[in-house]
């Protein structure tokens, strides 16, 4: 006959083994959501900084053009100067947030590799611009034969073609 302590230990081990995969699955789901949150936040900040740099360059160039033309006494050139200054201030704020983001993320459980993945994706897009998503990517003008049909509206004929 098996002693009670061995039987109790065996029951505890079986119970712990059955509970452990559930806990890790939940943590994987939570970790995926956390990863998506931090990567989205980092990507948004990088995109915003890139946009602001372009705005500063554009407004500075427009201000310089206005100084060379007949706008010297008008408001036209000051509008560009003010826009460039506002963009510079906002860019400084975004860059400050970008510099503190990795530390903040690590304190809240994010892994540093998550940010490297975003940077790798961005560098792949720079190397191959065709990978970049188009802002107005619609299928309206495309050949319907080469467009993936929506799963809801598949009829028998559409399903047969697939």
Would you list the domain boundaries of the chain? 26-119
Give every CB contact of residue 20 below 8 A, 6+ residues apart in sequence.
Answer: none
Q: Is the pLDDT of residue 130 over 80?
A: no
Q: Quick: pLDDT tens for 26-51.
A: 477 788 888 999 999 999 999 999 99
Give every CB contact of residue 60 below 8 A, 6+ residues apart in sequence.
Answer: 80, 84
For residues 135 and 69, give the distance between their C-alpha atoms in angstroms, rounded to a whole number: 35
Q: Quick: pLDDT tens for 5-31.
A: 655 565 555 555 554 444 444 477 788
Identity of the highest mean pLDDT range in 39-43, 65-69, 127-131, 147-151: 39-43
Give every CB contact of residue 56 below 8 A, 6+ residues apart in sequence.
Answer: 84, 87, 88, 91
- Taking the CA of residue 117 as centre, how many other CA atoms within 13 Å lie in the half-sphere pointing to its CB? 10
């Amino acid at each position: 006959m098996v002693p009670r302590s061995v039987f109790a230990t065996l029951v505890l081990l079986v119970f712990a083994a059955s509970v452990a995969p559930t806990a890790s699955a939940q943590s994987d789901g939570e970790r995926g959501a956390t990863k998506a949150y931090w990567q989205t936040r980092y990507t948004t900040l990088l995109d915003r900084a890139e946009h602001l740099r372009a705005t500063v360059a554009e407004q500075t160039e427009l201000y310089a053009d206005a100084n060379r033309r007949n706008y010297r006494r008008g408001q036209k050139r000051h509008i560009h100067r003010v826009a460039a200054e506002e963009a510079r201030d906002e860019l400084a704020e975004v860059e400050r947030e970008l510099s503190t983001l990795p530390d903040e993320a690590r304190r809240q459980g994010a892994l540093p590799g998550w940010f490297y993945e975003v940077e790798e994706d961005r560098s792949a897009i720079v190397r191959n611009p065709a990978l970049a998503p188009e802002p107005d990517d619609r299928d309206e003008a495309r050949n319907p034969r080469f467009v993936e049909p929506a799963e809801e509206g598949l009829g028998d004929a559409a399903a047969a073609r697939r």
